[in-house]
Amino acid sequence: MAHDQFGELTGWDLEGFHNGGDTELWKRLGSHVITEQGDEPGDEGKVAGVRFAVWAPNAKSVQVIGDFNWWTGDQLQLVPGSGVWAGFIPGLGEGTLYKYRIETQEGHWIEKVDPMARFSEQAPANASIVYESKYIWSDDDWMEHRRNGRAHAEPMSVYEVHLGGWRQGKSYLDLAEELVSYVKWQGYTHVEFMPLAEHPFAPSWGYQVTGYFSPTSRFGKPDDLRYLIDRLHQAGIGVIMDWVPGHFPKDEWALGRFDGTALYEHADPRQGEHMDWGTYIFNYGRNEVKSFLVSNALYWIQEFHIDGLRVDAVASMLYLDYSREEGQWVPNEFGGRENLEAIDFLRYVNRHLYEREPGVVMIAEESTSFPGVTKPVHEGGLGFGFKWNMGWMNDSLRYLQLDPIYRQYEHNLLTFAMVYQYSENFVLPISHDEVVHGKGSMINKVPQDDWRKFATLRAFYSYMWSFPGKQLVFMGCEFGQRPEFNEAASLEWWVSELWGHGGLQRLFRDLNHIYRDNAPLYELDNDPSGFTWINADDAAHDTLSWVRHDTHGNHIACVTNFSPEPLVDYEIGLPEAGAWEEILNTDAPIYDGSGEFGNLGEVNAVAEPWGHFPARARVAVPPLGSIWLRRNLGS
């Protein structure tokens, strides 16, 4: 039977939870192994056991059921004035399987997993598991660097990973060796994990969460995940995780209608359900829900040393009429379509995390023109650090899919992004969303034969890595995987041994290393002084050219030719006369290019005005290729 005490949990402990200010809720609710003073006559010792605590304010009664009581139920007691049911059961410890059995006001009994569980059974089983971390971190140097970081002025090239599909059947511990080694070799600064919180349906890729505080057990225990992250940090690689505070699934054993009423979600389906996705929407105006979600964000950052959260589907949170017809949504108090409660919640989370954990990054996947997504909260913005540039992604992929003969007529698709480049702090994403659901893999988006496909991709990624903004690419794109992403299968690693695929993979490695070693390519991403067009208007040659600058007077000129015709003696303007080193040519033989069109490692600029530049040079640019030129300050 449950103990009379609550393991020192009182209504006072839960005051912050009820006013929306408890940002460490996992320390109070859920299951915790504790020792408590014995209360039997003559018992003066300590008793070890587990304290259970769950928020179910509208329940008539709550029991904890598990393998320790043959799933028959021990009664929990209501903590006075709190809506939280709690109890201490002596003799239990780590590994205990449990659920909550809740009696609704109508007298029905429902079984629920623990919303605050920190470990869970592997799907399709779903019981919560008592778990206490014993992990000792070894990433002090990384964490110190994070606290003093300047994310906007530092390189960020992100490798987006679905853990189950990177190499099928690998555990967190396996990935701590294989994934870390690969990402370090490729030179990415960060990995971004698609959601790692527990989810029952594998094809949801983790975007329909049933265990917000529970790392998925598909790949091992929570401390195994900590080890993976620790190893990434020790290798100098940051870790971003997708976070899903926008909606949750309707599985009857999870968060939905938790105590028989709409607790975490809105009761009105016009506010509380995404009809397209078949999911519930959190009630951001409820203080306890705010405490739950902000605590969850901090939990991953503090307990798992996650360096940043990429917040999924922000647009669906910002607008009350998102994917809804007229009459299917409820306007806000001013008659508008903005979800004011969700906006306040996002500002709250972002402000709290940036103040609490300096150096973390909050990234919005936001597809609309909502103003001020990356503006600080105190200036009226949402307070994110970065926003995915969905406009750049859509325009550039439209251009990529055109036959070269038609590209000259759609040149603005590649130049338009500079019109709004400095309105937000952008990440340029080629994510999993672009290679699923019939959209085709990146290489199959490009028309014509394999030579042109691979050459075009090499030019495209060079264009992307030299464009202002941080970069993100989905796993498999780096070696030109041909099938679409399938979460049930491994990437086709064997093709990286083949012509074209291997060259593309080697190009990615060099793009990352050159990018990280040259401040002009990242330091002033969000400052107009970091970018100057050479020629934005050469549609006739399907060619774009610009110069990137840093704060120390260094320059890198980037010229990309999306035409199948080589450019010989192509004249460009440059900010300085003298020797410019050719540091990248995507047509080089090492990348499986022809090696026929280059500049023999150097270009000499003469002091003759060209447009708005004081110097000019003639360069060779390969067909469907890019060159990068670096000003050699020693010359």
Annotated catalytic residues are: 312, 365
- DSSP assignment of 440-484: --HHHHS-S-HHHHHHHHHHHHHHHHHSSSEEEEETTGGGT--SP
CA–CA separation, 170 and 162 (whole Å):
12
Rounded Cα gap, residues 212 and 241, in angstroms: 13
Nearest to 604 by CA among 592, 588, 615, 613: 615
Which position has the token pair 């464009």? 467
| Contacts of the segment 327-331: beta carbons below 8 A, 24+ positions apart | 328/270, 328/275, 329/270, 329/271, 330/268, 330/270, 330/271
Asked if residues 225 and 135 have their Cβ atoms less than 8 Å apart, the reply is no
DSSP state of 377: G
Token digits of residue 576 = 């300085």
Return the SS3 of 222.
helix
Query: What residues are paired with 580 via a beta bridge?
Result: 603, 631
Which residues have a Cβ under 8 Å from the Cβ of 517 and sit 6 or more positions away? none
Compute the distance between CA of residue 127 and CA of residue 595 in angstroms, rounded to an integer: 59
Maximum Cα–Cα distance across the chain: 98
Q: Which letter, b or e, does each residue of 537-546 get, where b requires 16 or more Cβ atoms within 10 Å of its Cβ? A: ebbebbbbbb
How far is it, in rounded angstroms, from Cα 572 to Cα 10? 72
C-alpha to C-alpha distance for 472 and 305, rounded to whole angstroms: 21
CB atoms within 10 A of CB 528: 11
Residue 623 CA, distance from chain mean position: 35
Residues 6+ apart with CB under 8 A from 334: none
Give the Cα-Cα-Cα angle 111, 114, 120 (nearest 5 degrees): 105
